[in-house]
Amino acid sequence: MFAFANFCTYFRGTYSVWISKIQVNHPAVLRRAEQIQARRTVKKEWQAAWLLKAVTFIDLTTLSGDDTSSNIQRLCYKAKYPIREDLLKALNMHDKGITTAAVCVYPARVCDAVKALKAAGCNIPVASVATGFPAGQTHLKTRLEEIRLAVEDGATEIDVVINRSLVLTGQWEALYDEIRQFRKACGEAHLKTILATGELGSLTNVYKASMIAMMAGSDFIKTSTGKETVNATFPVAIVMLRAIRDFFWKTGNKIGFKPAGGIRSAKDSLAWLSLVKEELGDEWLKPELFRIGASTLLSDIERQIYHHVTGRYAAYHDLPMS
Amino acid sequence: MRRVIGLILPPTFSFLEMMWRICPALAVGCTVVALVPPASPTPLLLAQLSGELGPFPGILNVISGPASLVPILASQPGIQKVAFCGALEEGRALRRSLAGECAELGLALGTESLLLLTDTADIDSAVEGVVDAAWSDRGPGGLRLLIQESVWDEAMRRLQERMGRLRSGRGLDGAVDMGARGAAACDLVQRFVCEAQSQGAQVFQAGDVPSECPFYPPTLVSNLPPASPSKGSSSVPWPVVVASPFRTAKEALLVANGTPRGGSASVWSERLGQALELGYGLQVGTVWINAHGLRDPSVPTGGCKESGCSWHGGPDGLYEYLRPSGTPARLSCLSKNLNYDTFGLAVPSTLPAGPEIGPSPAPPYGLFVGGRFQAPGARSSRPIRDSSGNLHGYVAEGGAKDIRGAVEAAHQAFPGWAGQSPGARAALLWALAAALERRKSTLASRLERQGAELKAAEAEVELSARRLRAWGARVQAQGHTLQVAGLRGPVLRLREPLGVLAVVCPDEWPLLAFVSLLAPALAYGNTVVMVPSAACPLLALEVCQDMATVFPAGLANVVTGDRDHLTRCLALHQDVQAMWYFGSAQGSQFVEWASAGNLKPVWASRGCPRAWDQEAEGAGPELGLRAARTKALWLPMGD
């Protein structure tokens, strides 16, 4: 649970000093993004270690129209036992308590998730999406009510979506106010603000929205819902990580980062870890400050670990499904 | 095309850089002899590659040897062009030793680049640009970083943070940003940094770097103003970044242009107008806007001022290895006993002339400097005789002081003239052509006195006027866009004026050659200091009388006097940007030798006569190519 941070928030003054002069040059950020993927490669046992670390960052997610209690239960068990026991034993990591960071579901399925995790004897948090996920185009009243109901049901982390229309029409103060209200509705729960960067139009808007979300009290900023046409890409992530670093320099508060959507292979996840390590440093490589929103990523990581331990490529049925 | 090219490459070149120099030469049909230093293994790969060219053995030859072989290679009889890439002092020494040799010399010197960070830039991306330029294996040398004062603290903080994340090590590590460049480079950097520290600079080093010898950590030096000895004299070595503040964009241009180096630069600003203004104003060969270090074979890369004037890539790179068809292969005019110290130093005295024939004595012509006729500093004149030996007139005896005054006047007129639109320049050239035509009878009669037939004289005057009009019409608007693969956005190839151009006209064709050289120089935006034909400068001075009314002051300056003495003054002048010499072979050799002073591009005739009345030689594209310099302006786009 993240403590609610108190910082000076006289909006207009801060806005003009911190945000209005920001410029982001798109081609230069694209070039940096290409370099990162090429320049930090990890092999052999270090790769296995990095992959296990990546597992502990995953928010195992299922956000489909056809979720029912049965697949939620399977998911929660997979969250508790992400990698097969014998593989972990071979790496001597079976007693380190390796689980995923959280389980992420729709608000209506929070009860099922809490029950399943309790039955599995696991205390990882349940994260719920809220505020009209994924489009956010519903009335404010219902959006706030969704948050409250999800918290009542037992979700300890809430992933909200911002109102993109406020960004695109430049109503930064209104955006700030809305997120403040989400923060209040969450109460003690951990707030992740989804910026839906694929719909914000430009990298400069991404930076500004990130800053506003952090100023308004988010514990995490998240790139996307996973349902847009363009989800988590490196250029957008670079801009958001720079915003997190600038916010830390200005206030001393560390805000977390979560990319979501489109991260499917183990190689991708290693690139993401390198990116965070390069831009923010080792302190951010903890589940309290970094999450990866993914569903099929876990099976790919498991297959890579299987290959590392046994030297063979696994078949689909060799590893337990989630 | 030229036939055999000798290529001299420095030890710090990567394989790719070597191929950049070799391939264009091979592509136009020359054969190459490359002299590479023995210390690095890259040349061995090059030699292996050349051995594999089965069907055409011998088109690429690789000699691995020390720097002492350079003059021997350059003076081989078969070599027609020597292209040298490397350090400044060696380039200068080579220029001096090759003066008068058969081979032409192309220099690409220096490795320093410049990064200009304004307050409207994306600072994090500019920091990445600094990493690309100086703290990676892609940049050739160190970096001068100019940061606008209002964002100084922000930029320094981000730079230092970024330096902390750099990793250096052996290339095969797979996760490194930069490697090492040999013990010699390491020593050079150590010395530079120690000197800087002893002059009070602040040095910041960071990064995960092994501490053994050839590895040197990324270094950021600040607090080292231009006046300090170590900053001014040498270029910044790799991997050092020297950061200095500036207040306004105008000041940035002054600081940036205030060094003799003119290789490449990048401008970081999100305001299009400001970025373009800075890009056009920087005196360098390549400008990147919001990027650094981008290269492509179809874009010319080169420099100006002391970075040498040879190009590779793009059309300019190909022209390096070509010469106009019909011009003869170079003849060697090396005279080993030319005394560079005394050439043209003293002015031989002229005997007083007999009485002048004509209705009334005409006053002696002055020098045409700064838009009007002035008396020479030496207050003396020399007589000019016509073809029958009679006195034709007196012209001023110009000297070193007059040259100095002329160059200053030309510099004063330059910004205004270079800033004129092409249409305005064309209009002035056409006005001069019209004035020449009005003066046809006077000019023709003077030419007759010099021994020309009346019809030929009139034809010469008409041709001169036509040439002026033709060059006026050829004045192009700035720049055309190049197609570059892999880049979204245009790359402009701009043709910019050189600056002040010194021209020494040939003895023959006193009017036509004068006009044929004046017109392209002015058309491309240069201002000129001309030394007219020694045999009959009166034609040129007649034209000056029209120029006094038509042209702005200082645009064209004409200095008469002893040709060798004036050549000496112009060739040694550090503020003349280029020189064209059409005189004797000895003079050509001196001019080439003296150009090593500020490495100005030189076009010397080596004593060979030129058919000025033929289109190809008198008004061909070669004149247009030599009258301007290229700048590549990269504009990556996207938002």
A171-229 pLDDT, tens per residue? 999 999 999 999 999 999 999 999 999 999 899 999 999 999 999 999 999 999 988 88
User: Looking at residues A86-108, what average pLDDT do you find?
Assistant: 91
Nearest CB among A29, A39, A245 relative to B175 is that of: A39
CA separation for the pair B378, A115 (Å, rounded): 107
pLDDT at A6 (0 to 100): 40
Cβ contacts (< 8 Å) between B126 and chain A: which residues? 28
Q: How many CB atoms lie within 10 A of CB B37?
A: 18
- DSSP code string of B239-266: TEEEEEEESSHHHHHHHHHSSS--SEEE
From residue B553, alpha-carbon distances to B372, B409, B419, B556, B580 in Å are: 8, 8, 15, 8, 22
A246 to chain B: closest CA residue: B158
pLDDT at B287 (0 to 100): 95
pLDDT at B362 (0 to 100): 66
Cβ contacts (< 8 Å) between B272 and chain A: which residues? none
Q: Which two tokens stand for residue B621?
A: 């594209």
C-beta atoms of A25 and B125 within 8 A: yes
User: Smallest CA–CA separation between B636 and chain A, in Å?
Assistant: 7
CA atoms within 13 A on the CB side of A69: 6
Residue B538's SS3 state is: helix
**Structural domains of chain A, count:** 1
Nearest CB among B121, B165, B637 relative to A27 is that of: B637
Which tops the pLDDT comparison, A309 or B17? Answer: A309
Helix, strand and coil content of chain B, in percent to the nearest 5, comes to: 40, 20, 45
What DSSP designation does B68 have? Answer: G
Inter-chain CB pairs, A–B, below 8 Å: 51
Whether A109 shows a pLDDT value over 90: the answer reads yes
Cβ contacts (< 8 Å) between A24 and chain B: which residues? 122, 125
pLDDT at B610 (0 to 100): 84
CA separation for the pair B437, B511 (Å, rounded): 13
Q: Which residues of A are catalytic?
A: 222, 258
Cβ contacts (< 8 Å) between A28 and chain B: which residues? 122, 125-126, 128-129, 290-291, 636
Query: Is the preceding peptide bond at A134 cis, omega within 30 degrees of 0?
Result: yes
What residue type is A127 in one-letter code? Answer: A
C-beta atoms of B122 and A32 within 8 A: no
pLDDT at A283 (0 to 100): 93
Cβ contacts (< 8 Å) between B165 and chain A: which residues? 278, 281
User: Smallest CA–CA separation between B482 and chain A, in Å?
Assistant: 19
Cβ contacts (< 8 Å) between A29 and chain B: which residues? 122, 125
Buried/exposed code over A88-98 (b: 16+ C-beta within 10 A; e: otherwise): bebbebeeeeb
pLDDT at A1 (0 to 100): 31
Query: What domains does chain B contain, in order, with CATH numbers?
Result: 3-110 (3.40.605.10), 113-260+264-302 (3.40.309.10), 366-634 (3.40.605.10)
In this structure, chain B runs to a length of 639
C-beta atoms of A27 and B290 within 8 A: yes
What DSSP designation does B384 have? Answer: E
CATH of the domain at A162: 3.20.20.70
Nearest to B117 by CA among B132, B129, B102: B129
Please check whether residue B471 is in contact with residue B433, taking contact to mean a CB–CB distance below 8 angstroms: no
Torsion of CA B69, B73, B75, B81, to 10 degrees: -140
Which of the four pLDDT bands, split at 50, 70 and 90, describes residue A269? very high
CA separation for the pair B142, B146 (Å, rounded): 13
* pLDDT tens, position by position, B249-276: 999 999 999 888 888 999 999 999 999 9
Q: Provide φ and ψ at A182, rounded to 5°.
A: -60, -45
Quick one: angle between helices B88-97 and B585-594, nearest 10? 170
Mutate to test the interface with B, among A17, A23, A43, A246 (most CBs of B within 10 A): A23
Torsion of CA B546, B550, B552, B556, to 10 degrees: -40
**End-to-end CA distance of chain B, in Å?**
44
If phi > 0 it is left, if psi is from -120 to 50 it is alpha, else beta; for residue B30 that is beta
Cβ contacts (< 8 Å) between B274 and chain A: which residues? none
Cβ contacts (< 8 Å) between B268 and chain A: which residues? 25
* pLDDT tens, position by position, A150-175: 999 999 999 999 999 999 999 999 99
Tokens 């900053």 belong to: B231
Please check whether residue B376 is in contact with residue B396, taking contact to mean a CB–CB distance below 8 angstroms: yes
Whether A3 shows a pLDDT value over 50: the answer reads no
Residues of B at the A interface, defined by Cβ within 8 angstroms: 120-122, 124-126, 128-129, 157, 161, 165, 174-177, 268, 270, 290-291, 488-489, 636-639
A243 to chain B: closest CA residue: B124
User: Smallest CA–CA separation between A125 and chain B, in Å?
Assistant: 33
Nearest to A192 by CA among A173, A217, A212: A217
Quick one: angle between helices B440-449 and B454-474, nearest 10? 130
Angle CA B312–B313–B315, to nearest 5:
105
C-beta atoms of B636 and A41 within 8 A: no
B487 to chain A: closest CA residue: A27
Cβ contacts (< 8 Å) between A39 and chain B: which residues? 175-177
Please check whether residue B309 is in contact with residue B629, taking contact to mean a CB–CB distance below 8 angstroms: yes
CA separation for the pair A319, B10 (Å, rounded): 57
pLDDT at B94 (0 to 100): 87
Confirm or reject contact between A278 and chain B (CB < 8 A): yes
Quick one: angle between helices B585-594 and B563-572, nearest 10? 20
* pLDDT tens, position by position, B558-607: 999 889 999 999 999 999 999 999 988 888 899 999 999 888 999 988 88
Burial of A177 (0-12, 13-18, 19+ CB in 10 A): middle
C-beta atoms of A31 and B128 within 8 A: yes
Angle CA B321–B324–B330, to nearest 5:
75
C-beta atoms of A25 and B122 within 8 A: yes
Please check whether residue B265 is in contact with residue B287, taking contact to mean a CB–CB distance below 8 angstroms: yes
Domain span at residue A246? 1-318
Whether A4 shows a pLDDT value over 60: the answer reads no
A 18-47 → B contacts, CB under 8 A:
23-32, 39-43
pLDDT at B357 (0 to 100): 59
Tokens 């001075």 belong to: B541
Signed CA dihedral, A283, A284, A289, A291: sign only: negative
User: Smallest CA–CA separation between B281 and chain A, in Å?
Assistant: 22
C-beta atoms of A39 and B125 within 8 A: no
User: Smallest CA–CA separation between B10 and chain A, in Å?
Assistant: 27
Confirm or reject contact between A139 and chain B (CB < 8 A): no
β-pairing, B264-268 vs A58-61, is: unpaired
pLDDT at B329 (0 to 100): 63
CA separation for the pair B525, B544 (Å, rounded): 19
What residue type is A40 in one-letter code? Answer: R
User: Looking at residues A40-69, what average pLDDT do you find?
Assistant: 91
Please check whether residue B595 is in contact with residue B98, taking contact to mean a CB–CB distance below 8 angstroms: no
Whether A305 shows a pLDDT value over 90: the answer reads yes
Query: Is the preceding peptide bond at B315 cis, omega within 30 degrees of 0?
Result: no
| Contacting residues for B41 by C-beta, under 8 A, at least 6 apart | none
pLDDT at A280 (0 to 100): 92
Residue ranges in chain B whose pLDDT is less than 70: 1-2, 230-233, 326-334, 350-362, 476-479
Confirm or reject contact between A288 and chain B (CB < 8 A): no
Please check whether residue B413 is in contact with residue B351, taking contact to mean a CB–CB distance below 8 angstroms: no
User: Looking at residues A245-255, what average pLDDT do you find?
Assistant: 94
- Whole-model pTM: value is 0.89
Cβ contacts (< 8 Å) between A31 and chain B: which residues? 128, 291
Residue B590's SS3 state is: helix
Residue B202, strand partner residues:
B222
Q: Which two tokens stand for residue B243?
A: 């950061």
Please check whether residue B589 is in contact with residue B99, taking contact to mean a CB–CB distance below 8 angstroms: yes
Please check whether residue B84 is in contact with residue B105, taking contact to mean a CB–CB distance below 8 angstroms: yes
Angle CA B552–B554–B559, to nearest 5:
135
Mutate to test the interface with B, among A25, A39, A233 (most CBs of B within 10 A): A25
Burial of B182 (0-12, 13-18, 19+ CB in 10 A): middle
User: Smallest CA–CA separation between A116 and chain B, in Å?
Assistant: 43
**End-to-end CA distance of chain A, in Å?**
26
CA atoms within 13 A on the CB side of A249: 13
C-beta atoms of A25 and B488 within 8 A: no
C-beta atoms of A28 and B290 within 8 A: yes
CA separation for the pair A224, A240 (Å, rounded): 12
Residue A154's SS3 state is: coil
| Contacting residues for B578 by C-beta, under 8 A, at least 6 apart | B498, B499, B501, B502, B526, B600, B601, B602, B603, B626
β-pairing, B367-369 vs B202-205, is: unpaired
What DSSP designation does A132 have? Answer: S
CA separation for the pair A82, A85 (Å, rounded): 9
pLDDT at B339 (0 to 100): 82
User: Smallest CA–CA separation between B269 and chain A, in Å?
Assistant: 9
